Chains A and B, each alone.
Chain A
């Protein structure tokens, strides 16, 4: 069966520091991969999605970036974090066009 893992689960980072969140999917090939963010008490915001290695689409301009160095690996990065980057970050995957999306456990980021 397919599984998705993301890490770290929680982190506290100072303003201006870099960020790297990693997500991997097992049990499937060529998945579509997604990064969402959820600010405290808010809905889910789609940040990036990828349909293949090296193919990244950005939904919202900001100081975050995403990369997909391998088929089942998706990385969310920032060179310099802002206070407004705090939130709950979720990686997700789907297979094929328009099929159901499945989420990972999430990563809590607090920028101080």
Chain B
């Protein structure tokens, strides 16, 4: 699976959009981009995933660049409860079952 690079930490003002970037320049054509988040002392929570089209659900939006070498997770109106570590993962869906997590981005939403 392709490696991902994320900033170590970010701050966001409450009520503003939080834009979390992820670089995956070695991504291959059959690899999906997944996002999870982990609130302190809890198990990671699935947020969203996509292949090449932008995706939106009740939690967030995922914007994938046309060359698929990077993506951005957008939390449209960040709340204090969105403070967490956000993981970007790239993996194949047609072979294997393992998910490998990096160190993620620690997002702090500031009142």
> Which A residues have a C-beta under 8 Å from some C-beta of B?
32, 34, 36, 42-44, 46, 49, 51, 59, 88, 90, 92, 94, 97-106, 108
Query: Which of B44, B46, B93, B102 makes the CB contact (< 8 A) with A98?
Result: B93
- What chain B residues lie within 8 Å of A100 (beta carbons)? 34, 46, 49
A-B contact pairs, 20 of them (CB 8 A): A32-B97, A34-B98, A36-B101, A43-B87, A46-B98, A46-B99, A46-B101, A49-B97, A51-B97, A92-B43, A97-B97, A98-B91, A98-B94, A100-B46, A101-B46, A102-B46, A103-B44, A103-B45, A105-B42, A108-B41
State the CA gap A34–B93 with chains docked (Å).
17
Q: When the two chains form their complex, are residues B103 and A88 in contact, meaning their CB atoms are under 8 A apart? A: no
Taking CB atoms and an 8 Å cut-off, the chain B residues in 75-98 that contact chain A are 87, 91-98
- What chain A residues lie within 8 Å of B98 (beta carbons)? 34, 46, 49, 59
State the CA gap A94–B96 with chains docked (Å).
12
State the CA gap A51–B96 with chains docked (Å).
10
Query: Which of B42, B92, B95, B99 makes the CB contact (< 8 A) with A106?
Result: B42
